[in-house]
Amino acid sequence: MPSSIRLSALALSLLLPFTQASAQQPDPAPPEPTGPIHLSVVVSDHSGQPLAGLTQQDFKVLDNKAIQPLLSFQALGGEQAPAEVVIVIDAVNTTFSLVASERDQIDRFLRAHEHLAHPVSLAVLTDTGLMAQRQSSTDGKALIDALDHSEIGLRSIRRSSGFWGADERLKVSLNALHQLGAIEESKPGRKLVMWVSPGWPLLSGPGIELDARQEQQVFSTIVQISTELRRAHVSLYALDAVGARESVLRSSYYESFLKGVTKPREAVLGNLGLQVIAAQTGGLVLNSNDLTGQLERSIGDASAYYDITYTPPPAERRDEYHKIDVQIGKPGLAARTLTGYYSQPEAER
């Protein structure tokens, strides 16, 4: 019972800042049309390196297990690829000492790239919200200067502050992700968002239960964030610099929540975890002491990828979940991309 009471307060404080709970909307506004589904597909071999040189005939796209005809196909990569990179330093869910180490390693990465292959911008998440550069740059020295002048300051929300601290960290983190999605949706091209963090609290597990209204609130938030990131063409990367010091349970628990949520009664707060969202957008989930290496590997996804669009099949109901499966017609290759989306029925005429 105590967990249920806590989650009642949590659901309201967490979700209302940027979405209206469905339980409070007897006549919700019609959702925006789904529009064409846009995929950025990274294909790799056993070495994990992005593979160039494939053609449209090598790809098969399935939507809810049905093969879809493609509207467009482009093989992209290199400096001419329409891609931007955002590096987010998470100072809310990370210790002071780890933030300092992360900044040093990001500085090292930028110093190794006086000219970056793709425009990069920096953002810092603090207790007061997300502070993001509006302009990106390919000048590593200019970005180092911006990093040196960024201020993180003292924090009132700490990882050791118990359940209510976890509640606040989750709220701040999801609001920041929502804010970033809104910023990036106004820009063309693909965005690779490198979120440097061990992740925010999952707040799911034995003894934690949601009532029907809370499940609907969490489901609505899952749909909204998924849709925002898809429309902004964001691939999210969860980069954890804790490395071997991270517990096995903490580093892998997110895998319990990777399956797409199809209805409110399946929704739990773990479905909104950083690592969960990253994997579902087609990004990577990495953990090592070598943050510089993680950045190199993640940004390498822009060196060779395939831009694919198709028209989604009609939806029968609002917020209908569609699973995406991209198959490659050559042995030994694996495709990584958006794993699913929420589709909306056509407006009644």
Q: What's the confidence (pLDDT) of residue 329?
A: 95
Instruction: Please tell me the distance from the alpha carbon of residue 292 to that of residue 241, in angstroms, as a whole number.
Output: 9
Give the gyration radius of the chain's Cα atoms.
20
Instruction: Please tell me the distance from the alpha carbon of residue 195 to that of residue 176, in angstroms, as a whole number.
Output: 11
The answer to whether residues 180 and 132 touch, using CB atoms and an 8 Å cutoff, is yes
Q: Is residue 47 one of the residues assigned to a domain?
A: no
Q: What's the confidence (pLDDT) of residue 164?
A: 54
Full residue range of the structural domain in which residue 149 is found: 2-14+80-303
Strands (E), the chain: 37-44, 59-63, 66-67, 70-76, 83-90, 115-126, 129-132, 137-139, 190-196, 234-240, 285-287, 305-310, 320-328, 334-336, 340-343
320-328 and 83-90 strand pairing: unpaired
Q: What's the confidence (pLDDT) of residue 166?
A: 86
The answer to whether residues 34 and 344 touch, using CB atoms and an 8 Å cutoff, is yes
Strands (E), 233-339: 234-240, 285-287, 305-310, 320-328, 334-336
C-alpha torsion sign, points 225, 133, 106, 184: positive
Q: What's the confidence (pLDDT) of residue 244?
A: 62
Q: Is residue 240 one of the residues assigned to a domain?
A: yes
Q: Is residue 166 one of the residues assigned to a domain?
A: yes
Instruction: Please tell me the distance from the alpha carbon of residue 228 to that of residue 308, in angstroms, as a whole number.
Output: 18
Say how many domains are in the chain. 1
Residue 287 CB neighbours (<10 A): 20
Instruction: Please tell me the distance from the alpha carbon of residue 306 to that of residue 39, in angstroms, as a whole number.
Output: 8
Q: What's the confidence (pLDDT) of residue 4?
A: 44
> What would the two tokens of residue 165 be?
């601290």
Instruction: Please tell me the distance from the alpha carbon of residue 224 to that of residue 262, in angstroms, as a whole number.
Output: 14
Q: Is residue 258 one of the residues assigned to a domain?
A: yes
Q: What's the confidence (pLDDT) of residue 15?
A: 52
Q: Whole-model pTM above 0.85?
A: yes
CA angle 294, 54, 232 (to 5 degrees): 55
Q: Is residue 189 one of the residues assigned to a domain?
A: yes
Q: What's the confidence (pLDDT) of residue 309?
A: 98
> What would the two tokens of residue 92 be?
């809310």
Q: What's the confidence (pLDDT) of residue 249?
A: 57
Packed helices 291-299 and 96-111: angle between N→C axes, nearest 10 degrees: 50
Q: Is residue 63 one of the residues assigned to a domain?
A: no
Instruction: Please tell me the distance from the alpha carbon of residue 286 to that of residue 279, in angstroms, as a whole number.
Output: 10
> What would the two tokens of residue 151 be?
């201020």
3-state secondary structure (DSSP) of residue 261: coil
Q: What's the confidence (pLDDT) of residue 31?
A: 79
Q: Which of 38, 40, 41, 39 is nearest to 334 (CA)?
A: 41
Query: Residue 54 gets which letter from DSSP?
Result: -
CATH number, domain at 264?
A: 3.40.50.410
Can you give the pLDDT of all 349 residues of the chain as single tens digits? 344 434 544 544 555 445 444 444 445 567 788 999 999 999 999 888 999 999 999 999 999 999 999 999 999 999 999 999 999 999 999 988 999 999 999 999 999 998 999 999 999 999 889 999 989 999 999 999 999 888 765 455 454 444 557 888 999 999 999 999 999 999 999 999 999 999 999 988 877 889 999 999 999 999 999 999 999 999 999 999 987 666 555 678 999 999 999 999 999 999 999 999 999 999 999 999 999 999 999 999 999 999 999 999 999 999 999 999 999 999 999 999 999 999 999 864 3
For residue 280, the one-letter residue type is: Q
Instruction: Please tell me the distance from the alpha carbon of residue 34 to that of residue 49, in angstroms, as a whole number.
Output: 32
Q: Is residue 248 one of the residues assigned to a domain?
A: yes
Query: Residue 263 gets which letter from DSSP?
Result: S
